[in-house]
Each structure stands twice: as C-alpha cells, then as structure tokens.
Chains A and B, each alone.
Chain A
Amino acid sequence: MNHWMFNCKEVTYMVSESLDRRLPFFKRIGIRMHLLMCKFCSRFRRQLLLLKEVSRAHGTHLEQFESPVTLSPEARSRIKQTMQQH
C-alpha cells in the first residue's frame, strides 16, 4: 500500500520516531493520512504503544515479574566483609 506520500516502511519508522521526539508537521500529517487508510500500520502503531505501556509497567514492578535470582552465599558474605572494612 502506498497511501499519501509515505509507504508502510517509512510510516513504521516515523511512528517509532514519534515516540522519542516531536516530529515536524508534514510528517505528522503524513502519518495520520496513511493510518486512516492502512489497517496494518494502524495495528502496528497500537502495538508499539502497547509495548511502551507494558515495558514501563515492567520497570516499575520489576521485583514482581523478574524471575527472582538471589545473591550467592559467597557473594553475600564477601560484600558484608568488604563493607565492614570501610
């Protein structure tokens, strides 16, 4: 599909870029026009926003979701010892 002036590949790049900086006016309009007509790029955009949202939640709930690892007993006692020397 080649809607408006940008193709899907270009639109995906600009959609990603728009999450990191404010795009110039013509690009914003170009994306919007393309998305109105392209189901797949609209999906793609929703999916990136979802990825952003869940990643942020991941960062704030790290302790709940990471498969928990623990310091080894050796590391634990080494760190304690080093702290006592200071």
Chain B
Amino acid sequence: MPENRISDPETWVDQFGDYLYNYALSRIQNPSTAEDMVQETFLAALRDRGNFKGLSTERTWLTSILKHKIIDHFRKMSREHPVDDLDSATDFTEDLFDEKGSWTLKPSNWNANPEKLVDRKEFWEILNHCLSDLSKRLALAFRLREIDGMNCDEICNVLKITPSNCWVMLYRARMSIRRCLEIKWFDVKAGEGSQ
C-alpha cells in the first residue's frame, strides 16, 4: 500500500470540511457546535501533523481526532447536565405488553433483507427520523453503541452512568426504534406488496 502523505493544511477545509461537518452534525445535531468541533479538529490536526504516520488516510486520521472531540463534548455535557432520562422519561415500553408481560402490539413480519436495506437511502432517512424521536440521551447511547460500536463500559465512561443504566437505556432505545421502523417502514412496505 502506498504510504499516505499529508496534504497542505490550507486545502483541508475544502477537502474534508464537509465530511467532518456531516459526521459531527449527525452526532451532535447542533450546527454551530458541530462547526466548532470541525474547527477544533483542524486546529488539533495542525498541531499534531508531525505525528501523522501515513498508516491511514488523512480523512480517517482527521475523523479519529473529531471522534475524540465529540466524546469530550459529551463528557462535558454529562458533567454539566446530569439529567437522568430513566426517571424523567415515561417508559413507553409498558404500552407494548399487557399486565402479564405478553405482547399487546405484536411484532409484525418484516420480511427484510439487510443487504438490500443498507442500499436504500429512504431507509436511512426513516432510521434517522426514528432516532430523532428519542430523547437526546437515549439517541446518543444508541448511536455510541450501534453506530460507533462502543461497548457499555466505554459508554458508561462517556455518559457517566452505571452499566445497568446503559442496558436499560439501550433497551428503551431499541424498543422505540424497532416500533418506529415497523410503523414507518415495514408495515408500509408490506402494504405496498400486498396490493
């Protein structure tokens, strides 16, 4: 593999600015904070560019710096706003089951092919929409776990929660997203198929 050389920092904003901004915005949802993150990333990269070994692409290198910035941001937020979603949010999972714990809203047959799904842009839009319905902390826990692939120990560290909080938050996030996808994507598709 050819060794990756670092390009002129003056070209970074045009080369990677939009990509990093998308990345930050998809996790932070606040445009001006996301812009700040991108700026801080470039500044940090400018300071550290001597350490760029060329083992990854520049974009991967910049993204990993941005990831750390985002995690620091979440840490700081968790310190400043230690709101506990588990107490404040109503637990909608109660509605899915009766008093004996059996399904009242039974999961429908999705009949889905994951390989086809990942190619569908509309599917991602629905998934993003379902994520945006969650409370911020639940959405964040889900993103960190399932999209960024962190484990619960790392998430606990970022969000300042206990492991059992982490499991409960992920459970609620998954329940909510599953139901949302069922309503907004799969049932609609099933309806189209039968007509």
Which residues from chain A sit less than 8 Å from chain B, CB to CB?
1-2, 7-10, 12-13, 16-17, 19-21, 40-41, 43-44, 46-48, 50-59, 61-63, 65-72, 75-76, 78-80, 82-84, 86
Out of B96, B101, B108, B118, name the residue touching A58 (CB < 8 Å): B118
Q: By the criterion of a CB under 8 Å from any partner CB, how many residues of chain B are at the interface?
A: 61
Q: A16-B171, A63-B19, A76-B17 are in contact. Are A10 and B101 (CB under 8 A)?
A: yes
Among residues of B, the one whose C-beta sits closest to the C-beta of A59 is B147
Contact present for A71 and B166 (CB under 8 Å): no
Out of B47, B97, B124, name the residue touching A66 (CB < 8 Å): B124
Point out the residues of chain B lying under 8 angstroms from A67, CB to CB.
125
Point out the residues of chain B lying under 8 angstroms from A69, CB to CB.
18, 21-22, 25
Point out the residues of chain A lying under 8 angstroms from B21, CB to CB.
69-71, 75
Q: Which B92-146 residues have C-beta < 8 A from chain A?
A: 93, 96-97, 100-103, 106-110, 112, 114, 117-118, 121, 123-125, 127-128, 142, 145-146
The segment out of B34-42, B50-58, B76-84, B187-195 that lies at the interface is B34-42
Contact present for A7 and B102 (CB under 8 Å): yes
Which residues from chain B sit less than 8 Å from chain A, CB to CB?
9-10, 12-14, 17-19, 21-23, 25-26, 35, 38-39, 42-43, 46-47, 93, 96-97, 100-103, 106-110, 112, 114, 117-118, 121, 123-125, 127-128, 142, 145-149, 151-152, 163, 166-167, 170-171, 174-175, 177-178, 181-182
